[in-house]
A and B are shown apart, each in its own frame.
Chain A
Amino acid sequence: MASVYIPVQNSEEEVRVSLDQLPRDASDILDILKAEQAPLDLWLIIAREYFKQGKVDQFRQILEEGSSPEIDEYYADVRYERIAILNALGAYYSYLGKIETKQREKEEHFILATQYYNKASRIDMHEPSTWVGKGQLLLAKGEVEQASAAFKIVLDGDRDNVPALLGQACVEFNRGRYSDSLELYKRALQVYPDCPAPVRLGIGLCRYKLGQFEKAQQAFERVLQLDPENVEALVALAIMDLRTNGAAGIRTGMVKMQRAFEIYPYCAMALNYLANHFFFTGQHFLVEQLTETALAVTNHGPTKSHSYYNLARSYHSKGDYDKAGVFYMASVKEVNKPHEFVFPYYGLGQVQLKLGDFRSALSNFEKVLELYPDNCETLKALGHIYVHLGQTDKGQEFIRKATKIDPRDAQAFLELGELLILSDTGAALDTFKTARTLFKKGGQAVPIELLNNIGVLQFERGEFELAQQTFKEALGDGIWLSFTNKENKPSVDAATSTLQFKDMQLFHDLERNGHHVEVPWDKVTVLFNLARLLEQLNESGTASILYRLILFKYPDYVDAYLRLAAIAKARNNILLSIELVNDALKVNDKCPNALSMLGELELKNDDWVKAKETLRAASDATDGKDSYATLSLGNWNYFAAVRNEKRNPKLEATHLEKAKELYTRVLIQHSANLYAANGAGVALAEKGHFDVSKDIFTQVQEAASGSVFVQMPDVWINLAHVYFAQGSFSLAVKMYQNCLRKFYHNTDSQILLYLARTHYEAEQWQDCIKTLLRAIHLAPSNYTLRFDAGVAMQKFSASTLQKAKRTADEVRTTVAELQNAVRIFSQLSAASNLHIHGFDEKKIDTHVGYCNHLLSAAKVHLEAAEHEEQQVRHTQELARQVELAEAKRRKAEEDSKFQLERRKQEEELRRVQQQEEHFKRVREQWKSSSHSRRRERSDDEEGGASEKRKRKSGKKRKKDKHSKSHYDTEETEGYMVDEQEIADGDADLYDREPQMNNDAEENAQDLLAAAGLEDSDAEDEMAAPSSSIARRRQALSESDDDEPLMRQSSPIRENSTDMQLESDGEIGDRDKTNGDNAGEED
């Protein structure tokens, strides 16, 4: 065992001090040292030994005693040892200062250290070790340049001074001149091959920084050979292991890291890496502990930044965005330039995005993008932000770039698709499909939202089968299968409750039978969309069950109520429909869709005042921004204007003006709103501006035909009305027929009536009658149609009789038609009732009277015609007889024997002929007189009638127009609603995707605007919403729309029947006048 020998003063003896048995109390040793005036190097050795043994206090005590003034005095000439003691103390305090984290104490240590070094310098200015110590002190203080100067002084004196070399290497390292640093380390090693491990550590670090990883690793390993507990080397090696990114590398790296931690738990670097590791393993508690410790033990900017970053990340992943934001911010503050450590910028950007601070997020992401211009995540994030900021194009550009850089990033395609929905559904669908393929290829589950969006787009494009498949794929397995699968139907007797729209018994029963009735929240939208699609496919029963399933689990799902109401409405069950809408309003009494629908239903129920209030409420609920509510109000005003038979011109004008104003308001908000344009056209037509309105209608029609989704029969009808009003009957007929076939499956008796009217005006009586018969067949209980048919027959007969030339067949047909007319009228007089049908027996009796009159006249005509025919036949017969007779006569002439007889015969013949001629003449006279008489009469009739007709027809046309336009506008509105609903549905979709929320709202708005252009037929037919899938998605939630449509159209129909009555009345009047005329003639 090593010992020192303290020579006993004035003797040859020595006191042996065993170094491993130093007394605990340093005073004992000090006493000896002092008493024996031991050489100072012994003091140093003993102090160092104490230090090595970790007895720092004793170490300090001895050195402080050894540097005390009395020692200085006593050993004044022993310069080197005194310096060494001072330097040791300086180095000690430097070290204390270096590891001290509290600023004030740190400063104090450094001051003490500086004092000792200065003292040493005063003893000998040129002592290199003092300079080295000073250099180290300066390094510790971070004053790199001064440190370098100190080392240089030493190196200038002795270029192989190892400590100075090391210090200078350290300086160069800190300056970032790693190769210079490496050279210095190498020289130090050459000069002093046995130098301690840290030299090699420096070499390793330099090589690491220079990218020479293998050599760096060798160096670190050498360090560990020399000093197995060298924390820095362990950490460095661990980092290098972690860098390999392989599972094995990470494992060995973590083992090393842990060892480093066990050896020295306060190494910030190791703490950070451990924290990093535990972040990935999800042990957030450890992450926080480690990083907090790391933060406590270091002042080094980048390391602190890293620690803050770890901490922020941990909070971020836990969803504590506020805290995460604070720590990201702290991390960013520790970083001078983004390129040093860019991650916190990204994290900060993410958190700001989450917290809605788009501008700040934007600048942070842009910093990241500067460094990594091809980073997909950043591009996507930027894309999102731009979309949120309303710069959709820029957003699209970024996301598109992301998809180009990584064509396998399904998420990017997904986002791109969502953006494209706004502008180009086809491209959006393609993009979504690409995303789906990518997800599938990657073996990942395809997100439900993606499938839903695809489904909705397919729905909007009319690819119902595909859409159904997609929705079913999105839904996967669940209770709904027992309702949607045909094969399973018998197991659930679903059909029985199809009509009980509010019946939830079915689901209770299922639960009781052990079925698990569960609808995951993320599938509700898909389920709703599927139901909407089923409606479109006319599977309204199944759709109703699905809606109820949604309501069973989510009783606040307003759209489901509205769709159920729409189905009820499509089935004409108005009361139930109103009840369902009221249920929806119970959930949200401000829901504009529900209010609009209720308004429509009330209109349908003929509850005008209530309807107006409800529509107002709907409009108020959306601050007048809801085009549908505004349009509805416009329509209400329009109907009000044309509603009454006895119109008040003032009121009518006011209502019309108001309607026009409302339509115009919508047009200002959404210049592409077809329905508003249609309404405006109607209002104009109402005022007689046919040319302008025709232009408007034509444009609307063109716009509507541009998309498969928009169905606007109204505009077709309106256009036809305008043609009709302008006298272009054949065009009007074509337009009506096309509309009927295209939109109504030929089932709309109202349009048939319009058609018949057009035929009537065009004097195409047979077409008119046939058309009316078809209408009667479709709407048997509409007696007005019969009345009209009777009138048409009467008119037809009258006009035939007026013809100058007609065959007996024609007259016979006329008589038959007259008989039919009489029968129809007499049936009507028995079956109808003024209150219900608007015509009374008197009027009918007049018609019957006139028809009978015509009939009797026709009978005369018929007789005449038949007589004429007979005559012709008779004359022919006579001629033949004459011929025969002549032949006989010739024979007789030949026969001279009978000449006399022949002469007699001739005479007789002549006499007969004379008689005949006379008869003929008489007859002709009679005939011509009757002819003229007939003609006169018919002229009179015609004149009177046509005049009247002209007058009346103007009025009539107007009325018809009104009714038609009403009808149209109402329908339009319905469509609008559908679109809106669809949009809502879409919005729901988007909501599911957190990043897209804002977009969705905007989308919805855009969609609404677009709705005008992009209505989906499907919805209308379904009488449902959603078409849009947004718009596109819309298709799904259309039900509401459809319902309103239905509602709307029904009041229209009523109106139009009123109109018809009126027009019928007019016809009746006209006929009456005709009848009168005829009577006068008689």
Chain B
Amino acid sequence: MAQRAAKNKKENQYFAMKLAGLKSVDNAHDDSVWAVTWVPATANRPPLLLTGSLDETVRLWRSDDLVLERTNTGHCLGVASVAAHPLGSIAASSSLDSFVRVFDVDSNATVATLEAPPSEVWQMRFDPKGAFLAVAGGGSASVKIWDTTTWELFVTLSIPRPEGSKPTDKSGSKKFVLSVAWSPDGKRLACGSMDGTISVFDVLRAKFLHHLEGHFMPVRSLVYSPYDPRLLFSASDDGNVHMYDAEGKALIGTMSGHSSWVLCVDVSPDGGAIATGSSDRTVRLWDLNMRASVQTMGNHTDQVWGVAFRPPGGTDVRNGRLASVSDDKSISLYDYS
């Protein structure tokens, strides 16, 4: 893995990375678009873009023209998160009413409806092998792991209370869990909370490992590097993106540049760049070697709630793609090279 990273580094020195706008769909939804992910390609179709919105619908789009494939209804209150199974056959969407709907991507048949009251549902992610679905549980201070074969609750990973705090503490000693991320090997799971701490779990042993500190404002998005199972990126309302060594509990780097909350972060499939979306209405591309912002896209007119790099695989997907969604109801697609 280290070799590969080194190779990437080399490449980055030769080619300046950049984003080029390909296509933008205004009014892609009837209201703010809050969630986006790519559904990996299957044998019979290319990858699809999956978006969720305050208008209570989930929509599927075919790239690169962003043609609307289908609109899924059935959610109440806004759709806050969407996730796609690594095999591309099934996907999950969740809304503010804390229901998770798992559905067949191609047929829109409901596979399962998940809820674990009183736990809420915020960000969801399938693990890299597709065996589990992790769901950030909000005020329950836990992450629920669902088995994707039986759709039974597999385990609940709870963040331990800090010692010495009383349950009646006005500050609310409970961590409100907003975001989750799987390490590329599927062994670790990180979750980010409202108070800015990030908790790391050993999934197989269902054990809390440690906290990563550095943020003091909500961490709304987390992502592991695809090549380095220790390297974790976090996006926070403090306007910064942090790089952590998630195993060594160390903050490796800070990238600042957004002028408001950083709402989302995703890492490019080559591991050389990350993209972030922010309340300052911009999408930024960051070169991880330089640890600096190399490009700022200003095509959205409101907060950018989601960014997603298209995963590699399938046919005709030689080119990198990045999608972003925003409160301005639009979806944008960029070429990443």
Q: Interface residues, chain A, CB within 8 Å of chain B?
A: 486-487, 489-490, 495-496, 498-499, 537-542, 570-574, 745-747, 770, 773-774, 776-777, 780-781, 783, 816, 819-820, 823-824, 826-827, 830-831, 833, 835-836, 1021
Contact = CB atoms under 8 A, between A and B. Distances in A.
B7 interface: no
Contacts of B240: 540-541, 571
B217 A747 contact: no
Interface string B270-285: 0000000011110000
Contact of A495 (B117, B217, B237, B252): B252
B307 interface: no
Contacts of B261: 745, 747
Nearest to B279: A745
Contact of B238 (A572, A574, A824): A572
Interface in B76-98: 76-78, 80, 96-98
A747 B303 contact: yes
Contact of B302 (A746, A777, A824): A746
A780 B120 contact: yes
Contact of A496 (B34, B194, B215, B253): B253
B144 interface: no
A401 B172 CA distance: 67
Given A498-B253, A573-B216, A827-B120, 5 more contacts: A496-B252, A781-B194, A820-B76, A827-B98, A831-B120
Nearest to B261: A747
Given A538-B258, A538-B259, A747-B260, A835 B80 contact: no
A541 B118 contact: no
Nearest to A816: B76
Interface in B48-99: 54, 76-78, 80, 96-98
B305 to A, nearest CB: 8
A858 B80 CA distance: 29
B118 A836 contact: no
Interface of B: 31-32, 34, 54, 76-78, 80, 96-98, 117-118, 120, 122, 138-140, 168, 170, 172, 176, 178, 194, 196, 214-217, 237-240, 243, 250-261, 278-281, 289-292, 302-303, 327
Contact of B254 (A490, A499, A836): A499
Nearest to A543: B256
A1021 B256 CA distance: 14
Contacts of A780: 120, 122, 138, 176, 178, 194
B138 A571 contact: no
B17 to A, nearest CB: 15
Among A487, A537, A773, A774, chain B packs the most CB atoms within 10 A around the CB of: A773
Contacts of A833: 168
**Leading 3 A-B pairs by shortest Cβ distance:** A830-B118, A572-B216, A495-B253
A872 to B, nearest CB: 26
B122 to A, nearest CB: 6
A571 B279 contact: no
Among B96, B97, B261, chain A packs the most CB atoms within 10 A around the CB of: B96
A579 to B, nearest CB: 14
B252 A745 contact: no
Contact of A745 (B215, B254, B280): B280
Contacts of A538: 239, 256-259
B77 A773 contact: yes
Contacts of A541: 240, 254-256
A321 to B, nearest CB: 49
Contact of B96 (A495, A540, A777): A777
B34 A1021 contact: no
15 contacts: A489-B292, A495-B253, A496-B253, A498-B254, A540-B240, A541-B254, A541-B255, A745-B280, A746-B279, A747-B279, A747-B303, A781-B138, A820-B77, A827-B118, A1021-B259
Contacts of A495: 243, 252-255, 291
Contact of A571 (B54, B122, B178, B217): B217
Contacts of B168: 833, 835
Contacts of B256: 538-542
Contacts of A830: 117-118
A770 B140 contact: no
Contact of A823 (B97, B122, B216, B257): B97
Contact of A486 (B76, B215, B259, B292): B292
Contacts of A496: 250-253
B110 to A, nearest CB: 18
Nearest to A573: B216
A1037 B302 CA distance: 30
A831 B140 contact: yes
Contacts of B120: 780, 827, 831
Given A780-B122, A836-B170, A745 B303 contact: yes
A499 B261 CA distance: 18
Given A572-B238, A781-B139, A819 B251 contact: no
Contact of A499 (B172, B176, B214, B258): B214
A662 to B, nearest CB: 29
A777 B78 contact: yes
B249 to A, nearest CB: 13
Nearest to A536: B259
Given A495-B254, A499-B254, A541-B240, A486 B290 contact: yes
Contact of B217 (A486, A490, A572): A572
A572 B171 CA distance: 14
A573 B236 CA distance: 13
Contacts of A489: 290-292
Given A572-B196, A774-B54, A831 B118 contact: yes
Nearest to A824: B97
Nearest to B215: A571
B298 to A, nearest CB: 13
Contacts of B302: 746
A819 B76 contact: yes
Among B140, B178, B216, B217, chain A packs the most CB atoms within 10 A around the CB of: B216
A804 B96 CA distance: 32
A827 B117 contact: yes
Contacts of A831: 118, 120, 139-140
Nearest to A499: B214
Contacts of B303: 745-747
A601 to B, nearest CB: 13
A836 B257 CA distance: 35
A780 B94 CA distance: 14
Nearest to A834: B168
A809 to B, nearest CB: 14
Contacts of A781: 138-139, 172, 176, 194
A262 B107 CA distance: 116
B32 A774 contact: yes
B118 A820 contact: no
Among B76, B237, B254, B259, chain A packs the most CB atoms within 10 A around the CB of: B254
A572 B215 CA distance: 8
A807 to B, nearest CB: 19
Nearest to B260: A745
Nearest to B194: A781
A499 B216 CA distance: 11
Nearest to A793: B77
A416 B96 CA distance: 62
B221 to A, nearest CB: 13
A931 B159 CA distance: 54
Nearest to B242: A499
B96 A773 contact: yes
Contacts of B138: 780-781
Nearest to A828: B118
A570 B54 contact: no
A816 B138 CA distance: 24
Contacts of B172: 781, 836
Nearest to A1054: B170
Among A542, A747, A826, chain B packs the most CB atoms within 10 A around the CB of: A747
Contacts of A835: 168, 170
A367 to B, nearest CB: 57
Contacts of B194: 780-781
